[in-house]
Amino acid sequence: MIVILLVAVVLIAVIAYYKQKLTLSGMIAALFVGSLIAFSLQIYGLLLLGIFFVTSTFLGSLRSESNRLEITAKGEKRDAIQVLANGGVSALFAGLYYFIPSPLLLCGFVGSLAAANSDTWASEIGSFSKNRPFHIIKRKRVDVGTSGAITALGTAAAFAGSFVIVVFAILFWSGSFYNSHILLITLTLIGFISHFIDSLLGAMYQVKYRCPACELETEQTRHCGQSTEKIEGTAWVNNDVVNLACTSVGALLGLLVGVLLF
């Protein structure tokens, strides 16, 4: 079985690379994350990771076709840092589960993926909102894609994204969990809360630049063929750092729930 799962990981990563959903480094990182999860949690872990990857990739494809300003620092193809920021923590917990097969670590694994899926769904689906996003610190409407900005549609999508991961996890590992209804509520809320922490960190600390040519506020260091000017935030706190913080918080809160319930 494990050989089949590893072959599936390779095929999915290679296809994603040739479909230009992953860069070469992103493909290598995806192979690492997927293989570790498949080896440790086998088919259910890989399926849960697949739900996150497939839905986020699909939603990202829809978003790329919409008319939006290029605010984000990177394109639609995910590189290694992006893959690890979203899936590295869940892979770590999966690896720990191989040596310590505890439901506590499963809760951490699920919490991390729920946070990643919640944040991704909020960003991708929220970009289709008819209303401009509201910045939670500046308290004003900003451009689509601005870090720290939320929409009602994106907030609803965040809850749905977390719920989808958690409900499938409980179905997959029903034998490992009891009080499933409590876990469904708490882990869904963990993913949802982690998404808000992501937004808050993005609003307060993520680095932002301004293009001197078009005056666009962006995460890119170059825009319109020239260097952009730093206007706020901490230089090393980019979107990948914020995403890593989001998935780490989801994992730690999931672990805490596991401690309290098991």
- Tokens at 92, concatenated: 């770590």
The larger pLDDT score, comparing residue 95 to residue 222, is at: 95
User: What does the angle CA 181 – CA 186 – CA 192 come to, to the nearest 5 degrees?
Assistant: 130
The larger pLDDT score, comparing residue 75 to residue 107, is at: 107
Q: How far apart are the first and last CA of the chain?
A: 29
Structural domain that includes position 231 = 2-261
Structure confidence by residue, pLDDT tens digits, 115-170: 999 999 999 999 888 888 988 888 888 877 677 889 999 999 999 999 999 999 99
Structure confidence by residue, pLDDT tens digits, 32-78: 999 999 999 999 999 999 999 999 988 888 765 444 445 666 667 88
Torsion angles phi and psi, residue 11, rounded to 5: -60, -45
The larger pLDDT score, comparing residue 198 to residue 148, is at: 198
Q: Say how many domains are in the chain.
A: 1
* Side-by-side strand order, sheet with 217-218: 217-218, 208-210, 229-232
pTM higher than 0.95, yes or no? Answer: no
- The contacts of residue 158 (CB under 8 Å, 6+ apart) are 118, 119, 121, 122, 191, 192, 195, 196
pLDDT at 69: 47
